[in-house]
A = this chain, B = another copy of it.
């Protein structure tokens, strides 16, 4: 299924009257605050959020998985799905692949399809947390950190292979998420495991093309439940510092202990020029992988507040941060969920752009705590949806993507095309 320009125009035409009024209202109000609306909308237009290939089908928990119909069964169909999202919001023009799930059969055909859909390939992901059918050694007890050199070599080689695939696709980064860790006190020698991991990462780093980045995630627990080799930003930071300039830390919002101040971590990484990118999602308990902005929208805004504050920094350019979603869709249509996530991210970004930075810095310098809070809340309480919709309309996207998605009965069409039994690779 494809969404035609005609369908988009028709949708926007119907929405235009109401939208224009709302947009004029908010634009008028913000104009009074000397805010440059045009520039703000341009920033929204340029901002792109990458879709993960592994989140286009139904997710699951260890307790079960409930299929939706019409899941993409091939890499081509995954691209089609991202193409659908991107056609509707013009903000999701990139896909992040997971190897070996997404190894292209026909590299040329895949690149052509991506071009056609106006989609690029963002960071490629390696997978050493599962065993593949024809794999020689098991990752049951770790991969890059394994006590057995043969297994480390296998894991390093897999990562190098992922880079090679990425090169062919035009990716510029590899994301390494390491499930390595231990389930019981005493199981692992923490220091040796760290050293072996560092050595393995160094071997992979040496294989990076010169214009590539290596993004290293951290996570405190799951799938290991006593320790993870890279449990927190500090450990990731330590590793990327040792590796070199091309290595940076990736922040997955769900990978933190309860009550962590994530926005402060973002600020520290920005300060040290080591913020490589994000995996956006939301959560109440752990790595819940819920729709971005669905549980803690203020936290998302505060993260973007740090990012916007640094937006013009020459050493850590905003445009070079990898903006990616990582989610699992257990009870929703994945495409609807992704549309909601992208919109929530745009809203957070728009609100952060509204923050009166001059007044905020004044309040901070004067230790006028109430005023600082007012400045933040003023931006957050503003209804920025018309701004986001305007940026979409100007980009040739739909005013209201989710509405259009339902009007066009996209899922129904996908089920008609693909049937109810397909299952996307992923978690």
Contacts and interface: CB of A to CB of B under 8 A. Distances in A.
B364 A187 contact: yes
Which of A233, A267, A427 has its CB near the most chain B CB atoms (within 10 A)? A267
Contact of A186 (B310, B332, B376): B376
A264 interface: yes
Given A25-B25, A259-B257, A284-B225, A64 B370 contact: no
A370 B336 contact: yes
A183 B61 contact: no
A422 interface: no
B290 A369 contact: no
A183 B60 CA distance: 12
Contacts of A330: 183, 223
A130 B295 contact: no
A328 to B, nearest CB: 8
A377 B270 CA distance: 30
The 3 closest A-B CB pairs, nearest first, are A234-B234, A190-B267, A225-B288
Nearest to A192: B364
Contacts of A289: 225
A162 interface: no
Interface string A299-331: 000100110011000000000000000001011
B261 A284 contact: yes
A332 B370 contact: yes
Given A63-B223, A427-B63, A186 B360 contact: yes
Given A141-B331, A179-B63, A298-B185, A221 B372 contact: no
A383 B258 CA distance: 30
A332 B298 contact: no
A141 B365 CA distance: 10
Nearest to A405: B370
